[in-house]
Chain A
């Protein structure tokens, strides 16, 4: 009896198994991308890249970055204008857009999306923590509807980078209907206006999106976009090699050579919006200050003593480019005219002798305990720098703490030299040159400027740049800041990490953004249109 039952069951399954479920799927073009899992799918309430790269495809903002660049262009707003004092920004909205749930896109949706983050009394405010609003949008006083398709945003202070911040995921416009329906659970039911609509999220396994057939712009070329969660980079690469997935992020640097030799695979790479640097503490009021670093000749000597190219080649393993400026070359305003301090231990020794330290000196070099996107292996990099410095007579002891304490102590200026870095929140030089190098940011105890570099001229230029709305003029001002930073050497700028994606060779149309955003609307398979 038992045996018969087993036979019947097995027979049933075999029949069902081969009963052509496959045919329906075949017609759809499905693109599978391997990455880590998202955390939440509310664009205003996330801080992690894995969530953002999914939402890039579901949502849109008033403006966006041009594909592959950091320049801002219209998106859900067709045009915009600041008032003459720079305090009021008026945005004119597209009229032919609907959300995936059928809700019309209009001024109400924009006001909802922004005010829920800013206004503590907004009924939706309690559902989120809105970290990025606090970090990057503090200057927005309010957002108001002028008419159905016009929105006015009022700022506390004139802030030219404002328009760059408007391209951030934080201010993607969300469907008020669906957000109100789901409340605190909305982050698992995202509804936007983008080229893909959300289908399902099986946590820890995959997120499925589908082409939005009613998209207002150029429609996506693939029918289904699946983000499959594969956390281990080696497993990702195996899945890609086998063809189970068509693209992946963050390969192991050690695998790059093999990938290059595999004709089925292609590598896309581009420097991201980040910088890794060695800061030298110039703050006389900080506990870690050493008078040697008050002398620009010593700082220049250190810049000459460090072999950056070797660090890039052997420690970043080619996943970064040498940095000569605090801002990456993919960001507008980059000053390419600057000549970097070349690796020259001889010159370093001369400069040290000139400054009165012919035999070098003793100091400390702080290294982060964790790998960060801008620096994969800080301890090894610190060791390399230590060896370089030893060659010119500087005896640097490596110091490390757990990450939280490290940030605390460097903010406090307890180091002589420290490794650190930054990943830009939005594509504006202000986000680097003000946050990391302005005297305003050099407050002991909460410093973003851990070199405690306080050049009043840098501050003057930074301030002029945030109140100037002409891009060409701003570019000029930021180029001058970079010249000053180059001359004063508060940092040895080390590297701009590159983002690296690997695709199957037949995948075309994908463009890397310096901001690290992934947009799959233009992606297609060669031969399948």
Chain B
């Protein structure tokens, strides 16, 4: 087990190394001179040359990569061209926002998708099954942008129940400590901020959680159906166990593995930045940060963030894989 984890961690660093090369090359090979783009319609050659030197673009590609690589080894992702702030600092500042939203989206997705999947599987081909699978299909195909705007229009403007976007109302003050707003409001015993934060989380969590919800419902259904056809379930049933007990004690646990894999992957992807949701709901997270960097041709931010996101995804995957061992004693690591 120890060996396995060690190997996986080494593996993880190798993957990150590859990612760093790919993203670096992709950005460099993309057409267009960043210096020219930054200078815009101002076209004096001296200005452009100066910008090129400032960005280090006058150096050979290999040198540029190694300068960057050396920085990364020191845990420094570089500084943004646009804001000139440390990229690591900005990412860490935004990470709690994205994390909090992702957790709530997953809670929403799980709370609805998981039971819906179980019910569908148990009552296969029933009316309930059709309804929940139809909703799942709808959920997967719903454009997040549109869903977000609709939620805002209905619950924000028409019914006036929930705020339209942002992390916290401008009238609510909260002293940031961990930058996880819910945690911060608990620590500082700020009830108003706690409730305000929750209110702001609801609509974006629904928007972001809808697709994962649909995925979880479908994977739960198919995984449960698989398990329900197994011999040991038939044995359990023929022993005269109650349906509920069979499902809870025998089927569910065995059906969990594919569900957990899917949920883990989805969660990792959400943390990588829910670009559309964050944009619609003015959520100051990682996704929005990266998108703006792309628009502003802020290459260091793009490559730094991609690496950071790759790291998050790899770590989440690793955690999920390790969790298997505890869930399923049949899995052995060598």
Which A residues form the contact surface with B (CB < 8 A)? 12-17, 19, 21-22, 25, 30, 32, 37, 39-40, 129, 131, 134-135, 184, 187, 202-206, 208, 226, 228-232, 234-235, 238-239, 241-242, 244, 401-405, 407-408, 411, 420-423, 445-448
Contacts and interface: CB of A to CB of B under 8 A. Distances in A.
B280 A235 contact: yes
B192 A446 contact: no
B282 A232 contact: yes
Contacts of B160: 242
13 contacts: A14-B191, A19-B192, A231-B288, A234-B149, A235-B165, A235-B280, A235-B282, A238-B156, A238-B164, A239-B164, A403-B32, A403-B37, A420-B41
Contacts of A411: 43
Contact of B284 (A134, A205, A235, A403): A205
Interface residues of B, number: 57
A203 B284 contact: yes
B189 A30 contact: no
Contacts of A230: 165-166, 282
Interface of B: 30-37, 40-47, 50, 54, 82-84, 90, 93-94, 97, 148-149, 152-153, 156-157, 160, 163-172, 189-192, 194-195, 279-282, 284-285, 288-289, 292
Given A403-B37, A411-B43, A32 B191 contact: no
A19 B189 CA distance: 12
Contact of A12 (B82, B164, B189): B189
Nearest to B171: A25
Contact of B192 (A17, A208, A235): A17
Most buried by A among B82, B94, B285: B82
Given A135-B42, A205-B284, A242-B160, A232 B166 contact: no
B280 A203 contact: no
Contact of A204 (B35, B41, B43, B284): B284
B191 A17 contact: yes
Nearest to A226: B170
Contacts of B163: 244
Nearest to A10: B191
A12 B90 contact: no
A40 B84 contact: yes
Nearest to A236: B282
A204 B45 contact: no
B284 A407 contact: no
A203 B292 CA distance: 13
B157 A17 contact: no
Nearest to A184: B84
B284 A39 contact: no
A238 B149 contact: yes
A241 B33 contact: no
Given A228-B170, A242-B164, A244-B163, 9 more contacts: A16-B189, A203-B93, A204-B284, A231-B279, A239-B164, A404-B37, A405-B33, A422-B41, A448-B42
Given A228-B166, A239-B165, A187 B84 contact: yes
A134 B156 CA distance: 47
B286 to A, nearest CB: 10
B106 to A, nearest CB: 22
Q: Give 7 nearest A-B pairs by CB, closest first.
A: A204-B284, A16-B191, A404-B32, A13-B191, A17-B191, A404-B36, A402-B32
A202 B94 CA distance: 10
B208 to A, nearest CB: 15
A12 B90 CA distance: 34
Contact of A235 (B94, B164, B170): B164
A446 B43 contact: yes
Contacts of B45: 445-446
A230 B279 CA distance: 8
Nearest to B41: A422
B280 A232 contact: yes
Nearest to B47: A134
